[in-house]
Amino acid sequence: MNLLWRIERYLNATATPPARFGRDAAHDPRFVFDLRNGRTPRPETEARIAAWLDAREAGR
């Protein structure tokens, strides 16, 4: 599953602003905006964000 698609789904489901997600998940408020503009995260970053999403989705 595409990371950006998964993040967008999370943002919509939780009404979380993109900058808040970036701060919480990646310690970078521009993270989502940069992904939307074509940024490709390093594999380690992508794995960390996926794990962060997994933890939040498991808690719902």
Query: Which pLDDT does position 58 carry in this prediction?
Result: 87
Amino acid identity, residue 56?
Answer: R
pLDDT at residue 15 greater than cutoff 80: yes
User: In total, how many domains does the chain have?
Assistant: 1
Query: Which pLDDT does position 1 carry in this prediction?
Result: 63
Query: Which pLDDT does position 55 carry in this prediction?
Result: 96
pLDDT, tens digit (0-9, with 9 covering 90-100), for 16-58: 999 999 999 999 999 999 999 999 999 999 999 999 999 998 8
Domain enclosing residue 49, as ranges: 3-58
Long-range Cβ contacts of 8-14 (<8 Å, 24+ apart):
10/53, 10/56, 10/57, 14/56
pTM recorded for the entire structure? 0.91
pLDDT at residue 60 greater than cutoff 80: no
